[in-house]
Amino acid sequence: MAAAPEPGEPGKGKPFKLLGILDVENIPCARDSVLYGSLGSVVVGLGHFLLTSRIRRSCDVGVGGFIVVTLGCWFHCRYNYAKLRIQERLAREGIKNKILYESTHLDPARKQTNGGSSSS
């Protein structure tokens, strides 16, 4: 039994693009945003239909719900993704500086231990 190919593998066929422009497989947050938007569209449209029994208006409200929920999920996810990337970059820089300055006269940990022991 062959294993399913991982996303982004070079041997795979064409990636799935929504409306021909949005590469849902490789863009972070795109898949979740579209799925939550479609679910929000169904819930809002069906809820509006059950309350008002107006078919055309309910479809319009459903499309509006799709847009609002998709954009809301997109911005929330991208904001968290950007925060995570910044935290990763800061941690990477901290590790690089720790390796670079370890056991030198510029090491902040060495300055703290030397300053505490020599002040007696």
pLDDT in tens, 52-81: 999 999 999 999 999 999 999 999 999 999
Verdict on whether the full-model pTM lies above 0.75? no
What is the pLDDT at residue 27? 77
Q: Could you tell me the residue range of the domain that residue 71 belongs to?
A: 28-100
Contact between 24 and 31 under an 8 Å Cβ cutoff? The reply is yes
- CA angle 110/111/115 to nearest 5° reads 120
Name the burial class of residue 19, with classes exposed (0-12), middle (13-18) and buried (19+) by CB atoms within 10 angstroms of its CB. Answer: exposed
For the chain, the average pLDDT equals 80
Q: How many domains does the chain have?
A: 1
